[in-house]
Amino acid sequence: MLREAFRERIKTLKKLIEDEHAEALLISRCDNFAWVTFGARNYVTINSEVGSVHFLIVEDFVYILTDNIERKRIEQEELSEDIANEVEFAEYMWSKGLWDVLKSFVQGKRLLSDTGWFDSRNVSDKLKQLRLVLAEPEIETYRWIGKNCDEIFSNLMPKFSPEMTEWEVQSQITQAFVERGIEPVLVLVFGEESAQLYRHNLPRSVKVGSKLFVSVCVRKKGLILSSTRSVLFTRNETWIKQHRDNCYVEAIALANSRPGKKLNEVFEEIKKAYASVNRPHEWFLHHQGGLAGYNAREVVANEKTDYTLRSGNVVAWNPTITGTKSEDTFLILEDGLECLSYPETSEWPGVELQVGSITLRRPDIVLLRGGG
């Protein structure tokens, strides 16, 4: 299945080259490299946007361009055997520049790229559009990430305490993901104080206090999944109601996330949902999410995003009301949604919300330590 999916992807890229009246395509960005190889990491530092290993299509040939430092790792650890057998390696000495090896393949040819390097035509936006609909191997990866993310939240969050610092919470969450071979691209920790102050709280050396929610963006094989879970250490009916109102706003977004619907139309429904829970201005304070995939948000929805949703898209909506947040990652199907990060087997307690004829189960805010 993977080999056929890869061949189909190469066929799509060759058509792009033809449509752009070019003869070669160089892919260097980490998101695009992971997409075309079904998950290979062409980077070394986790925050890289452009990697040190490159993917080249020239006429009927497909190459991996890599220096001698990365060759063995890419071939043995990053590429599946099915894909490794479909490409040729062009290795060069680390002290050489990319152009030193690339020119022998493309000099005199019309070159496309996702960086604009070497006077090439930048087609990064077109590649992004191709990334947005996932193939079955990618969906299976997402399901695996989501299952593990849910298990980590369900196992760890009940063990936290009000006396812990945000740093300590971040440390334990990060360790749990790393132990499972998942890269925590982002771990935000919101204690009692910070949840009121910031929409993006980078953890600090302050105690969590009476309430806590944790938001993560985690990556495997290039795909990034987002999820948030919330707990209370002291029962507070106001926070419980607000959390459920927040879940309702997300549920409205999800109920409208179906093939044929435009992102800006979903965004307008989100704004109405905030008003329906008497929080009409909260959407001003933070973006509401949108399409996910090889970036935490491939497309952030707003009034102008007219992308039409399709089966195979992944969405991650993240509505917030000051102090609370509701967020998970969903696969859009022809006839509904599949929650990737809150599976039906989850042990995390849920709250059911009715939106028209649709019932959506969202993770509830959990009261810990029997507070009453």
Q: What is the pLDDT of residues 144-180, one digit of tens each?
A: 999 999 999 999 999 999 999 999 999 999 999 999 9
Mean pLDDT of the region 299-308: 97
Mean pLDDT of the region 350-354: 95
Query: Phi and psi (nearest 5°) for 58?
Result: -130, 115
| Total-model pTM | 0.96
Residue 195 has pLDDT above 80, yes or no: yes
Pick the CATH number of 2-131 from 3.40.50.1000, 3.30.565.10, 3.40.350.10, 2.60.40.10: 3.40.350.10
Handedness of CA 235, 251, 146, 55 (dihedral sign): negative
Q: Is residue 113 helix, strand or coil?
A: strand
Residue 370 has pLDDT above 80, yes or no: no
Q: What is the pLDDT of residue 372?
A: 45
Q: Tell me the β-bridge partners of 64.
A: 55, 89
Q: What is the pLDDT of residue 371?
A: 45
Residue 356 has pLDDT above 90, yes or no: no
Distance CA 361, CA 199 (A): 24
User: pLDDT above 70 covers what percent of the chain?
Assistant: 99
User: pLDDT class for 259, splitting at 50, 70, 90?
Assistant: very high
- Which CATH architecture is the domain 136-367 placed in? Alpha-Beta Complex (3.90)
- Looking at the chain, which residues constitute the CATH 3.90.230.10 domain(s)? 136-367
Distance CA 11, CA 6 (A): 9
Contacts of range 157-160, beta carbons closer than 8 Å, 24 or more positions apart: 157/212, 157/214, 157/229, 157/231, 157/366, 157/368, 158/231, 158/366, 158/368, 160/208, 160/212, 160/231, 160/368
Alpha carbon of 116 to those of 47, 106, 111: distances in Å?
20, 14, 9
The DSSP string of 323-371 is TEE--EEEEEETTEEEESSS-TT--S-EEEEEETTEEEEEEPPEE-TT-
Q: Is residue 303 helix, strand or coil?
A: coil
Query: Phi and psi (nearest 5°) for 193?
Result: -80, -50
- Looking at the chain, which residues constitute the CATH 3.40.350.10 domain(s)? 2-131
Residue 53 has pLDDT above 50, yes or no: yes
Mean pLDDT of the region 113-118: 97
Q: What is the pLDDT of residue 357?
A: 86
Residue for token pair 């879970």: 229
